[in-house]
Amino acid sequence: MNLPQYPTNTTDILLQPNLQNDKTLIYLTTNEINQKQLLDFVKTPKAGSVIYFGGITRDNFKDKKVESLSYEAHSKLALKTLSNIANLAFEKFTDLNPEIDDLTPAYIHKIAIVHRLGLVPISEESIIITVSSSHRSEGWKCGEWLLEQIKKLVEIWKIENYNDDKSTWKVNETSNVPL
Protein backbone atom coordinates (compact mmCIF):
# COMPACT_ATOMS: atom_id res chain seq x y z
CA MET A 1 0.00 0.00 0.00
CA ASN A 2 1.52 3.31 -1.06
CA LEU A 3 0.49 6.29 1.00
CA PRO A 4 1.13 9.94 0.26
CA GLN A 5 4.16 11.67 1.76
CA TYR A 6 1.75 13.57 4.01
CA PRO A 7 -1.79 12.86 5.20
CA THR A 8 -4.26 13.39 2.37
CA ASN A 9 -6.23 16.31 3.80
CA THR A 10 -4.54 19.53 2.66
CA THR A 11 -5.72 21.41 5.75
CA ASP A 12 -3.53 19.19 7.91
CA ILE A 13 -0.78 21.20 9.59
CA LEU A 14 1.62 18.27 9.73
CA LEU A 15 5.10 19.40 8.77
CA GLN A 16 6.91 16.08 9.04
CA PRO A 17 6.58 13.24 6.51
CA ASN A 18 5.00 9.90 7.26
CA LEU A 19 7.34 7.15 8.36
CA GLN A 20 6.47 4.13 6.28
CA ASN A 21 8.18 0.98 5.10
CA ASP A 22 6.96 -2.55 4.38
CA LYS A 23 6.35 -3.25 8.09
CA THR A 24 5.60 0.09 9.71
CA LEU A 25 3.32 3.07 9.16
CA ILE A 26 3.60 6.01 11.55
CA TYR A 27 2.25 9.54 11.27
CA LEU A 28 0.87 12.50 13.18
CA THR A 29 -2.25 14.31 12.00
CA THR A 30 -4.63 17.09 12.97
CA ASN A 31 -7.50 15.30 11.21
CA GLU A 32 -9.72 12.40 12.21
CA ILE A 33 -7.77 9.17 11.91
CA ASN A 34 -8.68 6.81 9.07
CA GLN A 35 -9.19 3.47 10.85
CA LYS A 36 -9.64 1.47 7.66
CA GLN A 37 -6.34 2.74 6.23
CA LEU A 38 -4.48 1.43 9.29
CA LEU A 39 -6.28 -1.91 9.37
CA ASP A 40 -5.67 -2.41 5.64
CA PHE A 41 -1.99 -1.55 6.06
CA VAL A 42 -1.32 -4.18 8.75
CA LYS A 43 -3.27 -7.03 7.16
CA THR A 44 -1.10 -9.71 5.61
CA PRO A 45 -1.77 -13.34 4.60
CA LYS A 46 0.86 -14.46 7.12
CA ALA A 47 -1.02 -12.98 10.10
CA GLY A 48 -3.71 -14.81 12.00
CA SER A 49 -4.52 -11.79 14.14
CA VAL A 50 -5.01 -8.05 13.81
CA ILE A 51 -5.12 -6.12 17.07
CA TYR A 52 -6.72 -2.66 17.15
CA PHE A 53 -6.53 -0.09 19.93
CA GLY A 54 -8.25 3.27 19.72
CA GLY A 55 -7.71 5.80 22.49
CA ILE A 56 -10.93 7.83 22.59
CA THR A 57 -11.66 11.16 24.28
CA ARG A 58 -14.13 10.50 27.08
CA ASP A 59 -16.39 13.13 28.61
CA ASN A 60 -15.12 12.90 32.18
CA PHE A 61 -12.04 12.69 34.35
CA LYS A 62 -12.61 11.99 38.03
CA ASP A 63 -15.23 14.58 39.06
CA LYS A 64 -14.69 16.92 36.09
CA LYS A 65 -16.66 17.19 32.85
CA VAL A 66 -14.25 17.03 29.91
CA GLU A 67 -15.15 19.00 26.76
CA SER A 68 -12.17 17.92 24.63
CA LEU A 69 -8.49 17.06 24.64
CA SER A 70 -5.75 19.01 22.92
CA TYR A 71 -2.38 17.59 21.93
CA GLU A 72 0.88 19.32 21.14
CA ALA A 73 4.07 17.67 19.97
CA HIS A 74 7.65 18.13 18.93
CA SER A 75 6.72 16.42 15.66
CA LYS A 76 10.18 15.48 14.41
CA LEU A 77 11.24 13.96 17.74
CA ALA A 78 7.85 12.32 18.28
CA LEU A 79 8.05 10.55 14.91
CA LYS A 80 11.60 9.39 15.63
CA THR A 81 10.60 8.08 19.07
CA LEU A 82 7.51 6.33 17.66
CA SER A 83 9.71 4.67 15.04
CA ASN A 84 12.21 3.54 17.68
CA ILE A 85 9.41 2.11 19.82
CA ALA A 86 7.94 0.21 16.84
CA ASN A 87 11.37 -1.22 15.97
CA LEU A 88 11.85 -2.37 19.57
CA ALA A 89 8.42 -4.02 19.48
CA PHE A 90 9.42 -6.09 16.45
CA GLU A 91 12.51 -7.28 18.35
CA LYS A 92 10.72 -7.87 21.65
CA PHE A 93 7.67 -9.75 20.37
CA THR A 94 9.13 -11.82 17.54
CA ASP A 95 10.48 -15.10 18.84
CA LEU A 96 9.59 -18.74 19.32
CA ASN A 97 6.34 -18.92 21.24
CA PRO A 98 6.47 -21.68 23.88
CA GLU A 99 2.73 -21.25 24.54
CA ILE A 100 1.98 -22.70 21.10
CA ASP A 101 4.81 -25.18 20.61
CA ASP A 102 8.59 -25.19 20.36
CA LEU A 103 8.72 -24.79 16.58
CA THR A 104 6.01 -22.28 15.71
CA PRO A 105 7.49 -18.84 15.15
CA ALA A 106 5.47 -16.04 16.71
CA TYR A 107 5.81 -12.92 14.64
CA ILE A 108 4.68 -9.37 14.74
CA HIS A 109 4.24 -8.73 11.03
CA LYS A 110 3.22 -5.07 10.79
CA ILE A 111 2.58 -2.09 13.05
CA ALA A 112 0.68 1.13 12.35
CA ILE A 113 0.60 4.01 14.83
CA VAL A 114 -1.16 7.32 14.27
CA HIS A 115 -1.48 10.06 16.87
CA ARG A 116 -3.68 13.06 16.50
CA LEU A 117 -2.55 16.59 17.33
CA GLY A 118 -4.64 19.66 18.07
CA LEU A 119 -8.21 19.50 19.34
CA VAL A 120 -9.78 16.04 19.73
CA PRO A 121 -13.52 16.18 20.54
CA ILE A 122 -15.43 13.72 22.73
CA SER A 123 -15.76 10.21 21.21
CA GLU A 124 -13.00 10.70 18.64
CA GLU A 125 -9.68 8.85 18.64
CA SER A 126 -6.50 10.59 19.66
CA ILE A 127 -4.38 7.52 18.94
CA ILE A 128 -4.81 4.32 16.99
CA ILE A 129 -2.41 1.40 17.20
CA THR A 130 -2.85 -1.61 14.93
CA VAL A 131 -0.68 -4.72 15.03
CA SER A 132 -0.76 -7.84 12.88
CA SER A 133 0.72 -10.98 14.36
CA SER A 134 0.93 -14.69 13.70
CA HIS A 135 -1.15 -15.38 16.80
CA ARG A 136 -3.31 -13.21 19.04
CA SER A 137 -1.21 -13.67 22.17
CA GLU A 138 1.85 -11.76 20.95
CA GLY A 139 -0.39 -9.24 19.19
CA TRP A 140 -2.24 -8.32 22.40
CA LYS A 141 1.00 -8.12 24.37
CA CYS A 142 2.68 -6.03 21.69
CA GLY A 143 -0.24 -3.60 21.39
CA GLU A 144 -0.40 -2.97 25.11
CA TRP A 145 3.38 -2.59 25.34
CA LEU A 146 3.35 -0.11 22.43
CA LEU A 147 0.69 2.02 24.12
CA GLU A 148 2.53 2.14 27.45
CA GLN A 149 5.83 3.05 25.77
CA ILE A 150 4.14 5.77 23.70
CA LYS A 151 2.48 7.29 26.78
CA LYS A 152 5.77 7.20 28.66
CA LEU A 153 8.30 8.28 26.04
CA VAL A 154 6.87 10.13 23.05
CA GLU A 155 7.19 13.91 22.79
CA ILE A 156 3.43 14.51 22.69
CA TRP A 157 1.68 16.46 25.45
CA LYS A 158 -2.00 16.49 26.38
CA ILE A 159 -4.29 19.19 27.77
CA GLU A 160 -7.70 18.27 29.20
CA ASN A 161 -10.24 21.01 28.49
CA TYR A 162 -13.14 21.14 30.97
CA ASN A 163 -16.65 22.57 30.69
CA ASP A 164 -15.84 25.29 33.26
CA ASP A 165 -13.39 26.92 30.78
CA LYS A 166 -10.42 25.56 32.72
CA SER A 167 -7.81 23.15 31.44
CA THR A 168 -5.03 20.98 32.84
CA TRP A 169 -1.81 19.73 31.29
CA LYS A 170 -1.54 16.00 31.85
CA VAL A 171 1.90 14.87 32.94
CA ASN A 172 3.79 12.12 31.14
CA GLU A 173 7.18 10.75 32.06
CA THR A 174 10.23 12.44 30.63
CA SER A 175 10.40 12.23 26.87
CA ASN A 176 14.16 12.40 26.68
CA VAL A 177 14.75 8.85 27.86
CA PRO A 178 16.92 7.13 25.22
CA LEU A 179 15.57 3.92 23.75
Our count of domains for the chain comes to 1
pLDDT single digits (tens) 121-163: 999 999 999 999 998 999 999 999 999 999 999 999 999 999 9
Domain presence at residue 91: yes
Q: Domain for residue 177, yes or no?
A: no
Q: Could you tell me if residue 29 is inside a domain?
A: yes
Is 2 within the bounds of a domain?
Answer: no
Angle between helices 136-153 and 75-93 (to 10 degrees): 150
| Residue 14 domain flag | no
What pLDDT, on a 0 to 100 scale, did the predictor assign at position 20? 78
DSSP letter for each residue of 23-56? SEEEEEESSPP-HHHHHHHH--TT-SEEEEEEEE
Q: What pLDDT score does 3 carry? A: 44
Residue 9 in any domain: the answer is no
Residues linked to residue 129 through DSSP beta bridges, in sequence order: 53, 113
CATH code of the domain containing 72: 3.90.1170.40
Residue 74 is predicted with a pLDDT of 93
Model pLDDT for residues 69-126, shown as the tens digit of each residue: 999 999 999 999 999 999 999 999 876 454 555 555 668 999 999 999 999 999 999 9
Residue 86 located in a structural domain: yes
Residue 143, exposed/middle/buried by CB under 10 A (0-12, 13-18, 19+)? buried
| Domain region containing 64 | 19-170
| Residue 14 to residues 9, 11, 29, Cα–Cα distance (Å) | 10, 9, 6
Amino acid residing at 120 = V
Q: Would residue 175 count as lying in a domain? A: no
Name which of 93, 75, 73 is nearest 144 in CA terms: 93
